[in-house]
Structure 1
């Protein structure tokens, strides 16, 4: 079967590999859609933490079950599915507390173990969600949107609060959409004006702020000098994640949704006087996937406009490096098999 491997940073190649056999407790899934994520791009450029080469990338996946044994989920051959790519141990302190998204022994498909850039893969049935009735595109973007849903749920954002979302990429857009669903007044921040307009049109952001144009002054003006009570940073940028401390209201929260391979520092007196809460938000839980599925089924999430670029599997490698460039204006790229 055709398989794309990231051999080392800046090197993807197509090869033929042996199709997997059916393993008890797992299903053989024919992959039909692969969403391209910032994680894939960071891995390609050698900037992804917790990563080893060579690796088959791809964790935003949808497909159709080819073979599966009896299972409690009631899934059968021919069912369309989305993949939950976070494989947890089920036994550590995080898992026992229901926080499978930050398992101590987390194995993420496409990061810690081989992912879905191949025609067929074997996936634990517990990691599959039936998505009959949705499109393959809708099924493939459930995972990145679930990351945004999880961050918003973790923040305990309330109706009427000002929520600043820094980063107008696919994860930040998901945060904005679910923050709006909670009744927040959403401020989108990015360095790209076209992205900011997309945040208004797609996610319904109430206000936009260019991070290169006196952002603290603009935020103060929008909030009556009090600043947003909840700030989400979805950039993966050291500078942005450092600067975001100064955008939080007294008594407010800062949630890091993005990940960067670096240390972040902050001024402790400023942090202390605000009695600020700093939170990490990692991956998502089944509850968050359910939230996204309901939003997609209701039509509240417009997947057609969220996906801006496409390529067939055979042409993905040549498109991949183009998608890395800011001038390509990618929001979400989708690979089709």
Structure 2
């Protein structure tokens, strides 16, 4: 089969690989249809991902069709599915507490093990969710939207709160959309005027220009001096994450959606006087995938506006390398098999 392999940072190879073979008990073979290109994939290409060994077949935002099944599999041949790319051990403390998304031994497709930028993939049937009427191109957006939906659910603050999402990339916009679906009053911050224009003009969010000389003054002005009850950082940028602490209201919370290699620091007195919560959010759970698909069915997620670019598997080495550095007009790109 054909596969896209990142041999090392900066080197993508389109090559032939052996087909996966027949699925064993509890597994299914999926013919991959569409692959969303994630910030994680760009980070892998650029050598910035903290959990990766090369070479690697990237790709974890996946939709496809079941073409073969192993014993004991309760799914039909021909079923169109979304792939949950998080493979958990089922035994560790996180799994025992129903948090397989942060399993001690988690293996994420396209990160810890080879992913779906290929023609076929073996997947445990427990990681497959029927698309239930969604198109396969829309289904490829479910996983990245589930990251935001999970972060919102992790935040645990009530509806009606003033919420700031920092970062108007796909994960940030997904977080903003699901915060709004949860009834929060959402503002989006970014340093890119183009992305702010998209968030405001296409998605209807009020925005704050993070490239201004004093964004914290804009935050205070927008909130009558209170700052935001809930702040999400989805930038993957150390300086942004550290600055986000100052945007949180007293009694509020900061949820860190992105992951970086660096250590971060913050003022302990400022943290304590706010009695603020600092929340990590990693991956997503099945309930988040279900929530996203239900919201998409209800028309609450404008997927067609979010998917701005398409490519093929054959053209993806060139396009991924280009889009890693040229992001003008790009929100979400999808590989079509």
The TM-score with structure 2 as length reference comes to: 0.97
Q: Distance in 2 between matches of 1:70 and 1:296?
A: 32
Aligned to 2:222: 222
Q: Distance in 2 between matches of 1:295 and 1:98?
A: 23
Per the TM alignment, residue 290 of structure 1 is displaced from its structure 2 partner at its CA by: 0.6
- The correspondence of residues 114-153 of structure 1 with structure 2, limited to 5 A, is 114-153=114-153
Task: State whether structure 2 residue 210 is matched by structure 1 residue 211.
Answer: yes
Aligned to 1:274: 274
Aligned to 2:182: 182
- The correspondence of residues 57-96 of structure 1 with structure 2, limited to 5 A, is 57-71=58-72, 74-96=74-96
Q: Distance in 2 between matches of 1:327 and 1:293?
A: 27
Q: Answer yes or no: is the 8 Å Cα contact 1:79–1:132 preserved in 2.
A: no
In the alignment, structure 1 segments of 5+ residues that lack a partner are none
Could you list the per-position Cα deviations for residues 274-325 of structure 1 after superposition, in whole angstroms to 9, with x for gaps in the alignment? 1111110000000101100100111111111110111111111111111112
Per the TM alignment, residue 212 of structure 1 is displaced from its structure 2 partner at its CA by: 1.2
Q: Answer yes or no: is the 8 Å Cα contact 1:322–1:328 preserved in 2.
A: no
Q: What is the count of residue pairs matched by the alignment?
A: 335
Aligned to 1:51: 52
Per the TM alignment, residue 326 of structure 1 is displaced from its structure 2 partner at its CA by: 4.0
Aligned to 1:243: 243
Secondary structure, aligned partner of 2:7: strand
- The correspondence of residues 297-316 of structure 1 with structure 2, limited to 5 A, is 297-316=297-316
Q: Answer yes or no: is the 8 Å Cα contact 1:216–1:246 preserved in 2.
A: yes
Q: Answer yes or no: is the 8 Å Cα contact 2:31–2:64 preserved in 1.
A: yes
Aligned to 1:27: 28
Aligned to 1:294: 294
List structure 1 segments (4+ residues) > 6 angstroms apart after TM superposition.
Answer: none
Aligned to 1:99: 99
Per the TM alignment, residue 193 of structure 1 is displaced from its structure 2 partner at its CA by: 1.4
Q: Distance in 1 between matches of 2:89 and 2:55?
A: 24
Secondary structure, aligned partner of 2:57: coil
In the alignment, structure 2 segments of 5+ residues that lack a partner are none
Aligned to 1:11: 11
Q: Answer yes or no: is the 8 Å Cα contact 2:5–2:13 preserved in 1.
A: yes
Secondary structure, aligned partner of 2:228: coil
Per the TM alignment, residue 204 of structure 1 is displaced from its structure 2 partner at its CA by: 3.2
Q: Distance in 1 between matches of 2:317 and 2:242?
A: 34
Task: State whether structure 2 residue 154 is matched by structure 1 residue 159.
Answer: no
Q: Answer yes or no: is the 8 Å Cα contact 1:176–1:203 preserved in 2.
A: no
Q: Distance in 2 between matches of 1:166 and 1:40?
A: 20
The TM-score with structure 1 as length reference comes to: 0.97
